[in-house]
Amino acid sequence: MAMADNGRVVCKCTSRRSFCFREVTFDEKPNLRNHLRNVSTVPLFRNGLITRCPSVAGNSILSMDARENSRSSILSSSRHQRVPIYVMMPVDAFCIDGSGRPKIRKIKALTVALKALKLAGVHGIAVEVWWGIVERFSPLAYDWSLYEELFKLVSESELKLHVALSFHSNMNCSSSRKGGVSLPLWIIEIGDHNKHIYYRDQNGLSNDDYLTLGVDHVPLFCGRTAIQCYEDFMLSFVKKFESFIGSVIEEISVGLGPSGELRYPAHPFGDGRWNFPGIGEFQCYDKYMMDDLKMAACKEGKPQWGERGPQNAGGYNSLPSGVPFFEEGEESFLSDYGCFFLEWYSGRLLHHADDILAKAAKILRKYQENKKTSILLVAKIAGIFWWYQTVAHPAELTAGYYNTALRDGYDPVASILSRHGVALHFSCLEMMDTDNPASYLCSPEGLRQQIWTASKKRIIHLIGRNTNERFDRVGLWQIHANCHHSQAEAVRSFTYFRMNDKIFRAENWNNFVPFVRKMSANW
């Protein structure tokens, strides 16, 4: 990081001995600390000042413009078109009976609820298909019986399906403690002997919600790698439900991380380590990721950079102010080391998405090419909107999105999705900047604008979702406004998060039904 005499900030990132310079003009006295609380990234994107450095992981993923330009299919305009509504299944919809088999809870009540949603104009139901249920007891032993019953029930209600192939656990989510689903029991048994199959923080604490991407290509799972486990699961699913694909099943999202989102578990909710609006912690301390970091550092000619992650990046509940890595200085995110680490950290996440989505796209290709069927492949990203109005965007950095006021971190993600013909599933559509305390420097609006810009540039569909439960007219109409944004394409569909008893209360139902019908009508 160097400061030019004329007040310009020039950041030098090294990557395989190549350099990338970025320039942003500030005041006459260059001092980034003075701007940490005021910088908004939106004007920077609008003026085209943001570029990205070559990735430590190589250019095979990030430099995709030529391949994207060769794509023959261009998305038709969806503005002024209806937005189908999917409602996500209740979190406690399933349970394990006395024999250890999964079953649908309260099936009669669920049947009535599905019929009511259909009458209200809801298009379909979003269902999480859990790895920990289907392949629960032993590898390659798939039990689809629960989903056969559920899919039949949904189909008989004349509703469509958005299926979320879920390779994560929700046991640590506080809202899910009563119907939580773990990872497969045989995976947990492996993890009992090798904690490094899970993400780990700087204090050695593991997060067993999702396998670390460090084991994507390591055959630790009864002779298979993690990627092979995911691929085999997807193949079994498609074979089992082939007759539903393109008719009842219209969207399939593929889990890429905690909560199914492409991110690191930097903000673990429910185990007491993190509380909003903490910046979170880097999750790279399992031995497999550390080995990869060491290799990348040696390739860079800086072996000392591979010994550990940033040691001056605070803790889960730190605020950006006073945390050296997220301010200016010789050892900040703007330093040569900072650029190297963040390129590596985000680059590994991009490779993880590329590997899994390549498998999914190949499996579904024949259905997408068949004119008689309609199937959309989807990937979820997280809505990390707090501290967005700072230079560093620390909460996004710890989650694996190398997005700052000086760098666009979402365009590389959109590039990968575009490469595989995948839609981007994004949350926060009910939120406004003013919904949170000003001191947290949140901007869901700025983040949405950046996502819209990236999706338009890379010609990919957007799928919408709310983050917080909203039944009030203001919240629901805000969703409608964002789904039909005047400066962006309408989202392809919207997933309401999620079905529960409250949605059917008279005062809420009287708001929800007009919302669904307005979203579902051409306008």
Q: 296 pLDDT exceeds 60?
A: yes
Q: Is 22 helix (H, G, I), strand (E, B) or coil?
A: strand
Q: Where does the pLDDT of residue 58 fall: very low under 50, low under 70, confident under 90, or very high at 90 and above?
A: very low
Q: Is 406 helix (H, G, I), strand (E, B) or coil?
A: coil
**402-441: pLDDT as tens digits:** 999 999 999 999 999 999 999 999 999 999 999 999 999 9
| Residue 27: exposure state from Cβ atoms within 10 A (0-12, 13-18, ≥19) | exposed
**Residue 329 has what pLDDT?**
78
Average pLDDT over residues 52-81: 43
Q: Return the H-helix or E-strand segment holding 8.
A: strand 8-15
Looking at every residue in the chain, the average pLDDT score rounds to 85
Task: From residue 280, give the alpha-carbon distance in Å to each of 166, 265, 314, 491, 523.
Answer: 23, 9, 8, 30, 42
Average pLDDT over residues 27-43: 37
C-beta separation of 202 from 281 below 8 A: yes
Q: List CB contacts of 69: < 8 A, sequence separation 6 or more.
A: none
Superfamily covering domain 85-275+347-520:
Glycosidases (3.20.20.80)
Q: Where does the pLDDT of residue 41 fall: very low under 50, low under 70, confident under 90, or very high at 90 and above?
A: very low
Q: 304 pLDDT exceeds 80?
A: yes
Long-range residue pairs from 116-120, CB within 8 A, at least 24 positions apart, any chain: 116/504, 117/87, 117/157, 117/159, 117/499, 118/157, 118/158, 118/159, 120/509, 120/512, 120/513, 120/516, 120/517
End-to-end, the C-alpha distance of the chain in Å comes to: 50
From CA 338, how far away is CA 309, in angstroms rounded? Answer: 10
Average pLDDT over residues 154-175: 89
Where are any strands of DSSP class E within 183-297? 198-200, 206-211, 249-254
The amino acid at residue 270 is G
pTM of the predicted protein model: 0.86
Average pLDDT over residues 499-520: 95
Q: 129 pLDDT exceeds 80?
A: yes
Average pLDDT over residues 64-72: 41
List % helix, strand, coil for the chain (3-state, nearest 5).
Answer: 40, 15, 45
How far out from the chain centre does Cα 517 lie? 28
Task: From residue 462, give the alpha-carbon distance in Å to each of 280, 333, 448, 459.
Answer: 27, 30, 11, 10
Q: List CB contacts of 271: < 8 A, sequence separation 6 or more.
A: 172
**Residue 29 has what pLDDT?**
35
**Residue 99 has what pLDDT?**
77
Q: Helices in 125-250 by DSSP H: which ranges?
A: 131-134, 145-156, 185-193, 226-240
User: What is the domain partition of the chain in residue ranges?
Assistant: 85-275+347-520
Higher pLDDT, 118 or 487: 118
Phi and psi for 379 in degrees, rounded to 5? -130, 140
Q: Where does the pLDDT of residue 522 fall: very low under 50, low under 70, confident under 90, or very high at 90 and above?
A: low
